[in-house]
Amino acid sequence: MLNRVAVVTGGSRGIGRATALTLCRAGFEIVVASPEVEKNEEVAAEVRACSGTAITVNLDLSSRDSIKEAFAAIYAQARRVDVLVNNAGITKDALALRMKPEDWDRVIQINLTGAFFACQQVMQGMMKERWGRIINIASVVGESGNPGQANYSASKAGLIGLTKTLAQELATRNITVNAIAPGFIETDMTAALPAEVKEKMMASIPMKRFGKPDDIANAVRFLASEHAGYITGHVLKVNGGMYM
C-alpha cells in the first residue's frame, strides 16, 4: 500500500503536533513544517518513535520565498504531497478601533495569504496524481465573529471562502478541500488568555469542557482518509456545541 505524505504547517506544537502524531499512527509519512526549527525536530522524533517517517522544513508563511523554498525541499525529499493541513496561525488581538495596521497585515498574511500560497504549491502535484486532501484549520470565530479579533476572524472567514472555492475548482481531479472550525481548544495560544475570558468561553459551550488538540487531530484524520472521499467544500465544526 502506498504511504501517503502529509504536510502539517504549524506542526511544531498544539493542534499541529497532535495532528502530526495522529496522522503518523494512521500510516502517513509526516512533514513537520514551521519556523520553529528545534521544535520541528522534537515532533519529528516523536513521530519516528511511534514507528513513523518524518522530515522537517523551516516554513515561514509570511514569506512567499520561504513557502516556495520549503515546498521545493519537501518535494526533493518526499517526492510527493498527498495531504496538506493548513494549521499554522497567529493572533494579534485588539478592538478594531485601536488595531494597528501591522497587526492586521501580519495575521492576514500568515493565516490566509500564506495558506493560499501553500495550497498553490501542492495543487499541481495532486492534480497529476488525481488524489489529494487539503484541510484548512479555520475557527469558530470565522463563522461567528468575536470582539477584539477582527483580523483573526476575517482571516479564518477568508479561509472558509478559500476552502469552498478550491473545492469547486479541484473536485474533478479527486481532490477534496475541507475546513475544520475548532472552538476553544487548550493550546499555548489559548493558555495565555485571562481567566475571565476563559470563564466566559466555558459558559458558551454546551458540553462544558474545552477541546483538546486530539479532538481536532482526529477530525483531520477522518478528512484525510478514504472514508471522506465524497466530502468536499465542507466546514466541520469541532466546538462542543459552542456555535451551531
Residues tagged active-site = 152
Q: Answer for the pair 32, 58: CB distance below 8 angstroms, yes or no.
A: no
Start-end of H helices in 134-231: 141-144, 150-170, 188-191, 195-203, 213-224
Strand ranges of the sheet holding 29-34, from the earlier edge strand across to the other edge: 54-58, 29-34, 5-9, 83-86, 132-137, 175-182, 235-238
Q: How far, in Å, CA of 36 to CA of 55, rounded?
A: 14
Q: Answer for the pair 133, 86: CB distance below 8 angstroms, yes or no.
A: no
Report DSSP state, residue 239: S
What SS3 class is residue 23? helix
| Rg of the chain on CA atoms, in Å | 17
Report DSSP state, residue 185: B
Start-end of H helices in the chain: 14-25, 37-49, 64-78, 101-108, 114-129, 141-144, 150-170, 188-191, 195-203, 213-224
Phi-psi region of 156 (alpha: psi -120 to 50; beta: other; left: phi over 0): alpha
